[in-house]
Structure 1
Amino acid sequence: MRDEGIIRAWGIEVNTPLPILKVMEDADLDVCLRSRQYSLIDHASAVNELFPAVRKKGISLVIGSSLNAGFISGSPRYNYGKKNYVIPAEVIAKRGKLQAVADRYGVDLRTAALQFSAAADVGVALIVGARSGKQIREDWNSLQAKMPPEFWQELKAQGLIEKEAAVPSLPE
């Protein structure tokens, strides 16, 4: 249909990288919605497996859930699903470590999370949920805020984000 001009692009929406990698083996995708697992908390598989594969194929990603369903900004749930209020201890611990670094640099962790997800070079759009106009303004302001490069450097030095992960203030 794309070759006939009926559609301009097509793709899939999934929560994890494996389905995208599997579909890429058999189909010529243009864009995929990556609903979660590209956040400050959970991004290693995306950086190390998915992003290199989509770069090679020229596929763009729409990135969603950079706040892990609000968990990064303090919500008592993590991601979406039936058991989203059962949060693994290591996830809670990682949020605590991320928050400690953010506090040292005077950085809002929610702002850092949005900017981190938006920095991916394969990303063409970022989906951020909002319940009000106020939250939309906050999202906009977060994406415009200046972040100290040392903040990102420390996250990488502590192994809280992958060394290969793109960040707003540092070259890849």
Structure 2
Amino acid sequence: MRISLPSLGLGGAPLGNMFHAVSEATADATLQAAWDAGFRYYDVSPHYGAGLAEQRFGRLLSTKPRDEYVLSTKVGRLLEPSDRPENAKPFVEELPNKRVVDYSADGARRSLEDSLSRMGVDRIDLVFIHDVSEDQWGPQWRDYFAEAMAGAAKALTQLRDEGVIRGWGLGVNKVEPCRLALEQSDPDVFLLAGRYSLLDHREALETLFPTCQARDVGVVVGGPFNSGVLAGGGHFEYDRIPHDIQARKSRLDALAERFGVDLRSAALHFCLANPAVISVIPGTANPERPQQYKALYKSPVSDAFWRALVDEGLLHDDVPLPG
């Protein structure tokens, strides 16, 4: 049976000091605003700020009834105390921890125990094997992937079968590892960041989502704004915006203005229109954003806008459209 999740969740990377430092007061206010706005699915990772995001999320979630929210985190990097922060790009002013790559079964179990301790909660619902992909490790990614399938994947499958967690999958920025995981293991859900959006959706649509639907594997879409560019930010894929992406964004902006559409709202609706997608998780470190995201999620987008995107070649003819 396919995993069920709230359609709109909160991504945790910005609260790990992604791109810029966030004060503890602002982090607490952001998370409280998310709870007050009705967010009940939260995704974090030890990687985000070297434990900082988990620590911050835990300050809120450890005070809430555990059955009232869904929590996911990730495995693949263990944290060990260090004399200084690593400040691994794109994070700044991290906690003083050193990341140790470990996709083994024992590493996955230890990572989960550490996450539970950092957050002060008694269980984690979903676990994603983090960043077993070429964009993170270069050609060596296949070795890490093999280690993960032989180690972490088997440990998480056992924990799922024992009822310790609800399910597991991969948390990646690339489509290919998800396809391979479906061939080699039995995942329940993928967290796919930036690969199903108004700017980039063809590969996932054609090569991954049909198999996910056939196998009842859900997809959580992370990075629906592509690291912020679709929300007016200055980053794409955690870096500067390439010229071709900026040109495509400008065409989207022009159509959004023409039809009176907020492009952020369109980005959320687009992701959720695909039947393979079970949740979309924009991130923020701004206390004003959670309520805005809720309003954008509830705001309708005209059919004429979607038809115009198809007519202009910005969406493919076979992409599922809202409504």
Corresponding residue number in structure 2 for 1:44:
202
Corresponding residue number in structure 1 for 2:269:
115
What are the ranges of 5 or more consecutive residues in structure 1 without an aligned counterpart? none
Query: Aligned match of 2:191 in 33, 48, 58?
Result: 33
Structure 1 position 143 matched with structure 2 position 297: yes
Residue 133 of structure 1 aligns to a residue whose secondary structure is coil
Residue 179 of structure 2 aligns to a residue whose secondary structure is helix
Alpha-carbon distance, 1:165 to partner: 1.7
Corresponding residue number in structure 2 for 1:100:
254
Provide the rounded CA distance (Å) in 1 between the counterparts of 2:165 and 2:234.
41
1:11 touches 1:29 (CA, 8 Å); kept in 2? yes
Q: Residue deviations 1:71-91, cap 9 Å, x none?
A: 0121111122xxx11x22211
Residue 191 of structure 2 aligns to a residue whose secondary structure is strand
Provide the rounded CA distance (Å) in 1 between the counterparts of 2:268 and 2:167.
26
Alpha-carbon distance, 1:147 to partner: 1.2
Provide the rounded CA distance (Å) in 1 between the counterparts of 2:178 and 2:166.
19
1:30 touches 1:59 (CA, 8 Å); kept in 2? yes
Structure 1 position 73 matched with structure 2 position 231: yes
Provide the rounded CA distance (Å) in 1 between the counterparts of 2:300 and 2:223.
22
Query: Aligned match of 1:152 in 278, 291, 306?
Result: 306
Provide the rounded CA distance (Å) in 2 between the counterparts of 1:138 and 1:154.
25
Residue 55 of structure 1 aligns to a residue whose secondary structure is helix
Residue 196 of structure 2 aligns to a residue whose secondary structure is coil
Name the count of aligned residue pairs.
165
Report runs of 4+ in structure 1 exceeding 2 Å deviation: 2-8
Provide the rounded CA distance (Å) in 2 between the counterparts of 1:3 and 1:141.
38
Residue 208 of structure 2 aligns to a residue whose secondary structure is helix
Provide the rounded CA distance (Å) in 1 between the counterparts of 2:294 and 2:161.
37
- For the aligned residues, what is the CA RMSD? 1.3
Residue 283 of structure 2 aligns to a residue whose secondary structure is coil
Alpha-carbon distance, 1:133 to partner: 2.7
Provide the rounded CA distance (Å) in 2 between the counterparts of 1:39 and 1:93.
16
Question: Considering only CA atoms, is the larger Rg found in Structure 1 or Structure 2?
Answer: 2
Corresponding residue number in structure 2 for 1:20:
178
Residue 195 of structure 2 aligns to a residue whose secondary structure is coil
Provide the rounded CA distance (Å) in 2 between the counterparts of 1:74 and 1:34.
21
Identity percentage over the alignment? 34
1:65 touches 1:79 (CA, 8 Å); kept in 2? no
Corresponding residue number in structure 1 for 2:319:
165
Provide the rounded CA distance (Å) in 2 between the counterparts of 1:74 and 1:120.
24
Question: Quick one: which amino acid aligns to residue 106 of structure 1?
Answer: G
- Bigger proportion of residues as strand: 2
Normalising by structure 1, we get a TM-score of 0.90
